[in-house]
Chain A
Amino acid sequence: MAINVPFDAVEIAASAEARSGWWGTVLDFVRRRPLGAAGGAVVLFLIVVALTANLIAPYNPVQVDFGAMLTRPNAAHWLGTDAFGRDVLTRLIYGSRTALLVGFGAAVVGSTLGAILGVGSAYFGGRIDLYLQRLMDIFIAFPLIILALAIVAILGNTIPNLIAAITIPMIPRCALVIRSTALSIREMPYVDAARAAGFGSARIILRHMCPNVMAPYLIMLTSFLGQAILLESSLSFLGLGVQEPTAAWGLMLRGAAVDFAESAPWMAVFPGLAISLAVFAFNLFGDSLRDALDPKLRTL
């Protein structure tokens, strides 16, 4: 459950070449990076599934059916049922809502706050920079699971609090990366020009520096998406995340799924596959996006 920083995010220059319109960019991306496009397609598919869960799911996700406990996958229940007779496929479909909500929520909030702190830290420099860096060090060194445990114990077990628990360790990691890019941008003539024109710090940071750290920001954002989904599933698996009867992939692997793994392996296999597929797709897409934003360095 470590949170990793994409190692080359720092080196990526903020200049993405201007292309002809939005559609042109998308088509270009699909043609040049089929793997990334496949990842993007899976992500889109997941979003559609999450949005239409109540229409496409064959059963009610929380409907307990003791007549159909631990049913093998068959025509009525394609992926079988769990220990309460709930349809696994249905719960997988509804679980995508939890995963995407927490994934996007944590990644967007975490990388945005991180970016603002990073740019601010680089812009002001001096004392503020020093103190902010030390504060970031503290949060990076602090054990993630304890932070999550404490936040959930203090605030309660809801999805927004879960997002907060996952976001907090992301902020300092993102801030570090953005700061190093922003340090070089601060020396650019246009920032001097803006200062000479008498613009305030807030305006320079938001209008002149933030747009220019877009590339590392997007890279951090996409890499956090998959990691947030993984973290959410781990926390739910531990019983610290989403609570029953809400459908969540990590939660589906908890308890009965492990106890009955031998006699009812479908309960343990499919939710794990869903997590892996989602994170795989997000990473594939994110990696290709990174390559596209930085043609100089072709990595994974």
Chain B
Amino acid sequence: MWKYVVKRFFLMIPTLLGVAVLIFVLMRIVPGDIVELRLAGESGSVSVELLKSERARFGLDQPLWKQFATWMWGVVRFDFGTSMWTGASIGEEIKLRFALSLQLAIMATAVGVVIAIPLGVASALKQDSWIDYVARVVSIAGIATPSFWLGILMILVLLVVFKWVPPMVYTPFWVNPWQNLVQLIWPALAVGYRLSAVVTRMTRSAMLEVLREDYIRTARAKGLVETLILKRHAIKNAMLPVLTVTGIEFAFLMGGLVVTEQVFNLNGLGLLFVQAVAHRDYTLTQALVLLVASVFIIVNFFMDITYGWLDPRIRYR
């Protein structure tokens, strides 16, 4: 097991390095840089000397490999530098937004899983009954409905019925928990519905497969009570793929809520992403991409480890 964990752990490094190279190169291919964008706002004509000196200030006059090496050396020491646009340290820029996005992702996942697992299990147990049909239609609809449109509709209904307007300022959980939850529950529901749809389908399909296994028949044959069969044998085994799909969806939510954040007027990682790219803020964009990719890769790592831990057959690949 340990050999597998170590091997799997070291596989993360080339992937992250690849992501770093990719975003570094991409940002430099994108036309325009921060110096041009900033100076363009001030006046029509800018002297070449000014452009040069400004670029030198950001280290953009260095050869590419040197810029990359400087950045990597910082990353290794967890020093991401300062934002080129605001001048603030990247850690400060990201901290509050990360907290918001993380909380939203956790709430949405919780909402999704709480709905999905009972629904998926019930749907599989009563295959082809009305529960099954309702669950299937609801989950296919959940995958088909854009969550940003669901958000627009929610706001519309809340506006008409309760005269509720999404607040302009985000209240952190540690400042006012209640206000914070009220603020985030709607986006969490809009996003959680989609997630629940994905997880319901997975749960149902995994349960159906497990229920056909020989060991379930054996358990029935030896006269085990149905609830015990479900608890000890069926659900336990069916949860593996469900866990994976939930983990992947969760990891994706960390950086993928750009549209929902826009609809609900939330200043999370997604919005910061769009701004950073628009400003050609190389340092901030690079740090954000690395952060989101790390979350994704680390969640995947833990998923694989848990998988191997829960199902010993997988370990010895």
Contacts and interface: CB of A to CB of B under 8 A. Distances in A.
A268 B156 contact: yes
A51 B277 CA distance: 37
A134 B149 contact: no
Contact of A145 (B26, B204, B258, B300): B258
Contacts of B289: 142-143, 146
B273 A146 contact: yes
Interface in B290-308: 292-293, 296-297, 300
B279 to A, nearest CB: 12
B155 A279 contact: no
Contacts of A299: 201, 204-205, 208
Contact of A269 (B146, B153, B249): B153
A237 B152 CA distance: 12
A283 B273 CA distance: 30
Interface stretch (B12-20, B47-55, B70-78, B179-187): B12-20
Contacts of B143: 226, 279, 283
A298 B208 contact: yes
Q: What is the predominant secondary structure among interface residues of chain A facing chain B?
A: helix
A298 B110 CA distance: 28
B15 A141 contact: yes
Interface residues of B, number: 59
A138 B208 contact: no
Interface string B119-143: 0000000000000000010011101
A233 B258 CA distance: 13
Contacts of A41: none
B225 interface: no
Interface in A212-264: 226, 230, 233-234, 237-238, 250, 253, 257-258, 261-262
Contact of A276 (B14, B23, B144): B144
Q: What is the predominant secondary structure among interface residues of chain B facing chain A?
A: helix
Contacts of A262: 156, 159-160
A108 interface: no
B6 interface: no
Nearest to A231: B146
B146 A233 contact: yes
Interface string B79-95: 00000000000000000
Given A138-B22, A142-B22, A153-B277, A272 B263 contact: no
Interface in A262-300: 262, 265, 268-269, 271-272, 275-280, 283-284, 287, 297-300
B312 interface: no
Interface string B256-272: 10110011000000100
Contacts of B156: 261-262, 265, 268
A2 interface: yes
Given A4-B198, A150-B26, A287-B140, A297 B209 contact: yes
B50 to A, nearest CB: 24
Contacts of B205: 7-8, 297, 299-300
Contacts of A280: 140-141, 144
Contacts of A65: none
Contacts of A141: 15-16, 19, 293, 296-297, 300
Contacts of B263: 258
Interface string A117-156: 0000000000000000011011011111111011001100
A300 B277 contact: no
Contacts of B172: none
Contact of B259 (A147, A234, A275): A234
B141 A272 contact: no
B62 interface: no
Contacts of A7: 201-202, 205-206, 241, 245
A247 B78 CA distance: 46
Nearest to A147: B26
A234 B148 contact: yes
A253 B151 CA distance: 12
A250 B19 CA distance: 29
A230 B274 CA distance: 19
A269 B140 CA distance: 19
A183 to B, nearest CB: 12
A262 B163 CA distance: 11
B288 to A, nearest CB: 8
Contacts of A206: none
Nearest to A268: B152
Given A138-B18, A153-B30, A262-B156, A144 B256 contact: yes
B169 interface: no
A1 interface: yes
A71 to B, nearest CB: 19
B186 to A, nearest CB: 14
B191 to A, nearest CB: 11
Contacts of B159: 261-262
Given A7-B241, A143-B256, A276-B149, A261 B31 contact: no
Among all A-B residue pairs, the 4 with the closest Cβ atoms:
A272-B149, A138-B18, A279-B144, A280-B144
23 contacts: A4-B198, A137-B297, A138-B15, A138-B18, A140-B296, A145-B258, A149-B273, A237-B259, A237-B262, A238-B262, A253-B148, A258-B263, A261-B156, A265-B156, A275-B146, A276-B144, A276-B145, A279-B145, A280-B141, A280-B144, A297-B205, A297-B209, A300-B201
